[in-house]
Chains A and B, each alone.
Chain A
């Protein structure tokens, strides 16, 4: 069997990275202990909104082991810049989104519970924590607003002087007038008020940073739990002004999950760099889980009115969505991107709509900043469309599968009413596959069986589609992107024939060390054992945009591009060494073969020659075998799928049990089915978590987070979940050479509405708040 068949693109290759993780040899940021290591502990506001009247550091500075303490005044004096929203989002009237000032340490007024106001640096973690309790801060407690709806009401409490009425932006897309006339003449209209509940991402590894400053070179090194090392470097350099980018090195070793929450720039990361320079010691900080709950960027938190207009044949005529998005106390790095572009553009889902309109208002509140979390905007869109379509089917008494089938986009490319070009898809095929998997025709029998046991059974659909695989840079530049969102890859074929792949994408569970190596194996025909994938170091890879939005497939296309350049150059070298014209050479199974003779050279032999190069005509062939490629797609990718969930509810207790869950997914071509199955399992679980378990609750009176630990916040556990059944329907993506669409977020996008549609079906109600806990389900049953 060739290397390509065993370990190339499409094979379920066991993961190269596993060995270090299963033997305890992973290297996460907190595992690193540097010579002279100092430790940071942050003093955080216990109030959600308060004026800082006085800070007394005397006792804390005298505590054992304390090296120094920094406050908001010190941050201001350092001259470093504020944390910023990286996207130029414009309101309907053309004005930019209102960005409130956010220093890494707050000097005068805190706006959410957990906001950092000081940092204690000490010889040990416990010494820093002990001393932090001696930092005396006199606060004047102020009233709070935690709900975005309340924050936008007339006369609401004003959070930031720069943001009248707490409005960040009032943004829209689509054709409001066309939608208005469609609704005026529609045979049927359906509407639904929906909350998309707030979530806390909770990657299992808490955030951590370890900062070093070298006074000799002026260089900063930051070991960091991040999904996007180069992006962090750009922000630290250009926005914060730490140092020019070539003097900032960001390293992310093993990262224990991200899900979006390790993409934004956070205050602690900046403060560790500042402290490292000012105190002349490497400074490490690791979040406690409680800090993660309070300060990791939260997610979702939309309140929407969704309206659907249909003609007499149940053809969709128009979609209108009005959303209020809670953005928290400050704008996080992608704070305005997620609830606008990432949300609204895909709101029409898998359906043809002649007209659509989405308007979103973003609001400041006294809550943690909101940013990307698995799906980032697209789950909110999918929830809106899939809930309204399912409710429409029930209200109009048409089978939900039939209503979808009647309205699916079936011809591609398709230009949507919200101006996206869906490149390819097979929505009907996905539906048929899911219906077959769940045995849809047998549902009524299963429901009767459940009822005979005193249980309520429900079925729910979700036909999701997303935009993923970011770039395209050109299109995103028209949407406020701060820079190019391509991906870069470097291939170094060493003299021994071993291959190093350096990518700007980042793996924090996705398995790139395996899948990227598979691409190289496929392209260059070298054994996978000889391929090393390197990521997470801004000094080893020149450029990158990290991993988010299922964009690793973009990265893989860059790897392929670099491989093709390597082959081109290696062909020239082989031609020179073999004295065979290039036209006569074929590259197959890792060998350059003279098609008119017997001579052949392996890639390893060519590599050896490349670094020997004694008799190269160096004006034509340079020594070395080392190529770089940037890939920037021309369009988004459009992963899509159809999920069907069946639940059984115990009316005595309100407990919902998922009795079956099927997923038919179209990710285009798949690099490693084993890994993709794993990605879908995890995504579906997070979607189920939102639907049934995960509840982020702020007390509206005090602004305190009431669900600040795993004892209060329902992270799904093994026993909460069913086994999943997943199958793939493959339509290769025309937008990248590997034909991939990406699979990272699909499960989290598609699962939530499928579960809630099943719960509302079982209960025969229009809506239920998420999470649909036993208490809420039981209450619904009493109505």
Chain B
């Protein structure tokens, strides 16, 4: 079964015939070629596929593409156009990435975290908020630092 879906991806209108069972992550990667969003597990545990749907962080492996009718989807490719987003900048400044595979999901999650903590965040809360994103390289320490730096704080512990 297929349905026509109209949505916006990174600000651009997209109309597509989508097989009902297709996951959003597969639609983004396979149909739109937006390969910055990654698939790291089969069980919605790793968070490598996090995108924003109507400005809220969503694991794109846990929603169907047909559910996106009338939605605004933002992927890592659409987070910033010319200059880097402050969260992207913080990840590189704090060496919050190594192999880079979890990074797009980490960055999209962090943008969402900071939106929900506009008055700043402590490191313990940042660690809890990152629970849904797995990284095998960094031991999270520098990712937490990146979250804190992007939040404008210097609480590194």
Interface, chain A (partner B; CB < 8 A): 14-15, 17-28, 30-31, 33, 125-126, 202-206, 254-257, 259, 288-290, 508-511, 674-675, 677-679, 681-686, 709-711, 715-719, 721, 723-724, 747
- Indicate if the CB atoms of A14 and B93 lie closer than 8 Å: yes
Chain B residues with CB below 8 A from A15, complex form: 92, 95
- Indicate if the CB atoms of B95 and A682 lie closer than 8 Å: no
What is the minimal beta-carbon distance from A736 to any residue of chain B, in angstroms?
24
A205 in complex: contacting residue of B22, B34, B38, CB < 8 Å: B38
> B9 at interface (Cβ–Cβ under 8 A)?
no
- Indicate if the CB atoms of A711 and B128 lie closer than 8 Å: no
For the complex, give the distance between the alpha carbons of A206 and B102 in Å.
12
Chain A residues with CB below 8 A from B107, complex form: 22
A678 in complex: contacting residue of B19, B33, B84, B138, CB < 8 Å: B138
> B35 at interface (Cβ–Cβ under 8 A)?
yes
Within 8 A of A (CB), among B16-54: 19, 21-22, 26, 29-30, 33-43, 45-46, 48
Known A289-B41, A681-B141; contact A22-B102, beta-carbon cutoff 8 A:
no
- Indicate if the CB atoms of B100 and A509 lie closer than 8 Å: yes
- Indicate if the CB atoms of A719 and B141 lie closer than 8 Å: no
What is the minimal beta-carbon distance from A282 to any residue of chain B, in angstroms?
15
- Indicate if the CB atoms of A203 and B139 lie closer than 8 Å: no
- Indicate if the CB atoms of B136 and A202 lie closer than 8 Å: yes
For the complex, give the distance between the alpha carbons of A684 and B134 in Å.
16
Interface, chain B (partner A; CB < 8 A): 19, 21-22, 26, 29-30, 33-43, 45-46, 48, 75-77, 79-80, 84, 88, 91-93, 95, 97-104, 107, 123, 126-128, 130-131, 133-144, 156-157
Q: At the interface, is chain A mostly helix, strand, loop or mixed?
A: loop
- Indicate if the CB atoms of A717 and B131 lie closer than 8 Å: yes
- Indicate if the CB atoms of A710 and B46 lie closer than 8 Å: yes
B95 in complex: contacting residue of A508, A675, A716, CB < 8 Å: A675
For the complex, give the distance between the alpha carbons of A17 and B98 in Å.
9
- Indicate if the CB atoms of A677 and B95 lie closer than 8 Å: yes
For the complex, give the distance between the alpha carbons of A715 and B143 in Å.
16
Known A21-B97, A723-B157; contact A718-B131, beta-carbon cutoff 8 A:
yes
For the complex, give the distance between the alpha carbons of A715 and B88 in Å.
25
- Indicate if the CB atoms of B40 and A205 lie closer than 8 Å: yes
- Indicate if the CB atoms of A24 and B37 lie closer than 8 Å: yes
Chain B residues with CB below 8 A from A206, complex form: 39-40
Which chain B residue has the least Cβ–Cβ distance from A22?
B88
For the complex, give the distance between the alpha carbons of A208 and B84 in Å.
30
- Indicate if the CB atoms of B134 and A717 lie closer than 8 Å: yes
Known contacts A203-B136, A206-B39, A717-B134; 13 further A-B pairs (Cβ under 8 A): A18-B100, A22-B92, A22-B100, A24-B75, A24-B77, A204-B38, A205-B38, A256-B100, A289-B40, A677-B142, A681-B141, A681-B142, A718-B143
- Indicate if the CB atoms of A203 and B41 lie closer than 8 Å: no
Chain B residues with CB below 8 A from A674, complex form: 95
Known A24-B35, A289-B42, A709-B42; contact A257-B95, beta-carbon cutoff 8 A:
no
What is the minimal beta-carbon distance from B43 to any residue of chain A, in angstroms?
5
Q: Can you show 5 pairs from A to B with CB atoms below 8 A apart?
A: A15-B92, A256-B99, A289-B46, A719-B127, A721-B140
B98 in complex: contacting residue of A30, A202, A289, A510, CB < 8 Å: A510
B99 in complex: contacting residue of A33, A257, A290, CB < 8 Å: A257
Known A22-B84, A710-B43, A721-B141; contact A204-B92, beta-carbon cutoff 8 A:
no
A259 in complex: contacting residue of B33, B77, B136, CB < 8 Å: B136
- Indicate if the CB atoms of B42 and A24 lie closer than 8 Å: no
For the complex, give the distance between the alpha carbons of A161 and B142 in Å.
51
B136 in complex: contacting residue of A204, A289, A723, CB < 8 Å: A204
